[in-house]
């Protein structure tokens, strides 16, 4: 059975497939963790410790020694996405309470959902698109997008914009696994090779545990339509600055910027991770997780389409993308969604 190939054909499938399985368990067998107990309960409810291991491995997988062109492209994308998400979060915080909107047509929308949907780029989707529409350097520009992975950037945005206040020790505790992994991975290439596979390996496990916090019956609410609107907002509000930055700073034609205007599959885990250290967001976690999951699906479908259209109209003469089997990810891995 070609289960892995089938999962790979689903946009963000490595994250979304186990997430859906976990959500099915939560919806139709909500008492299963307490019934089975032991290791089964742990794997169904242990999203925070699983995320901690993933965050450590993600840090270990990042290698910053790269060509100047790749670093310029990466830096342009990461900084532009971060600044754009920060500005949007600042504006949203003027109108939305920490717990989110509870009634009306926008019920479920929160600052937590917005920042988690906006600030993470789907590195795997980006690299795949650049293999078709960009140069080798542009395809390799996802190296720094790994820094966006996990709740780190979302927490920085929330803290610096005044939306949330994180005690120093809490913030350090949240980012310490990433920093330790990053340090070890860059001090010893063998340690990077040892831990880097975990940045991909752990995704289905924390996705399944995360799914066990989602009741699918909530999809019958207006959240589905709201999620689609939020996804389109992600593409437009981050895509335009990314296109301009790619053209005028990164030296591209805008294609790479548009290809980065997506929501990463791992972003669905951020609302719960942030609420674990900022309890004021706890009431918004359920709806935020669903909204971000919808954004992952929609942007994974729409971004490749509009990127292809943009390239055909504005791409011009792009250097032939001869990969020759070269892999830009640390430890020989493809980038995580």
Structure token pair of residue 210: 């995360």
CA distance 206 to 10: 18
Going by C-beta distance under 8 Å and a sequence separation of 6 or more, which residues neighbour residue 286?
213, 214, 215, 218
Burial 223-238 (b: 16+ CB within 10 A, else e): beebbbbbbeebbebb
The top-level CATH class assigned to 3-324 is mainly alpha
Tokens 């309890």 correspond to 279
Asked if 307 and 313 count as a contact pair (C-beta separation under 8 A), the reply is no
What is the 8-class DSSP label of residue 281?
A: G
pLDDT digits (tens), the chain, 337 positions: 788 888 877 756 777 788 889 889 988 999 999 999 999 999 998 877 887 888 888 788 877 665 566 667 778 888 899 999 999 999 999 988 888 888 888 888 999 999 999 988 877 678 768 777 876 666 666 656 666 666 778 888 888 877 777 677 766 777 788 889 989 998 999 999 999 898 888 888 988 887 887 777 766 667 889 999 999 999 999 999 999 999 998 888 899 899 899 988 778 888 988 988 888 888 999 899 889 988 988 888 888 889 888 988 887 654 444 344 444 443 444 444 5
pLDDT of residue 63: 75
3-state secondary structure of 262: coil
Asked if 248 contacts 257 with a C-beta cutoff of 8 angstroms, the reply is: no
What pLDDT does 110 receive? Answer: 93
**Which residue has tokens 């997988």?**
61
pLDDT at 67: 53
- Whose tokens are 């979304």? That residue is 16
* pLDDT computed for residue 113 by the predictor: 94
Q: For the chain, which residues make up each domain, given as ranges?
A: 3-324
Given this model, what pLDDT does residue 334 score? 45
Q: Could you tell me the two tokens for 60? A: 């270990």
Nearest partner of 43 among 214, 202, 196, 273, judged by Cα? 202
Q: Classify burial at 83, counting beta carbons within 10 Å of its beta carbon; exposed 0-12, middle 13-18, buried 19 or more.
A: middle
Question: Cβ neighbours of residue 41 under 8 Å, at least 6 residues apart?
Answer: 33, 34
């Amino acid at each position: 059975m070609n289960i892995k190939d089938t999962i790979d054909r689903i946009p963000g499938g490595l994250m979304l497939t186990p997430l859906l399985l976990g959500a099915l368990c939560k919806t139709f067998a909500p008492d299963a963790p307490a019934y089975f107990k032991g290791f089964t309960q742990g794997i169904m409810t242990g999203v925070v410790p699983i995320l901690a291991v993933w965050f450590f491995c993600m840090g270990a997988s990042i290698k910053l020694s790269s060509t100047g062109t790749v670093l310029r492209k990466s830096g342009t994308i990461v900084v532009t996405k971060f600044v754009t998400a920060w500005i949007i979060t600042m504006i949203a915080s003027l109108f939305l309470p920490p717990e989110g909107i509870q009634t009306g047509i926008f019920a479920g929308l929160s600052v937590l959902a917005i920042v988690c949907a906006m600030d993470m780029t789907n590195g795997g989707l980006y690299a795949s698109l650049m293999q078709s529409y960009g140069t080798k350097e542009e395809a390799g520009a996802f190296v720094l997008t790994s820094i966006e992975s996990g709740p780190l950037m979302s927490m920085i945005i929330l803290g610096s914009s005044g939306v949330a206040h994180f005690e120093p020790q809490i913030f350090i505790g949240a980012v310490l696994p990433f920093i330790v992994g990053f340090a070890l991975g860059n001090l010893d290439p063998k340690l990077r090779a040892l831990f880097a596979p975990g940045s991909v390996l752990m995704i289905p496990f924390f996705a399944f545990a995360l799914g066990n916090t989602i009741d699918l019956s909530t999809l019958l609410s207006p959240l589905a339509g709201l999620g689609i609107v939020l996804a389109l907002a992600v593409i437009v509000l981050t895509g335009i600055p990314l296109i301009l930055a790619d053209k005028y700073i990164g030296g591209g034609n805008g294609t790479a910027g548009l290809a980065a205007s997506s929501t990463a599959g791992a972003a669905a885990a951020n609302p719960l991770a942030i609420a674990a250290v900022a309890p004021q967001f706890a009431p918004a976690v359920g709806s935020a997780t669903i909204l971000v999951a919808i954004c992952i699906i929609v942007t994974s479908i729409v971004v490749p389409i509009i990127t292809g259209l943009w390239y055909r109209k504005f791409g011009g003469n792009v250097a032939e993308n001869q990969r020759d089997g070269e892999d830009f990810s640390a430890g020989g891995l493809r980038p995580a969604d």
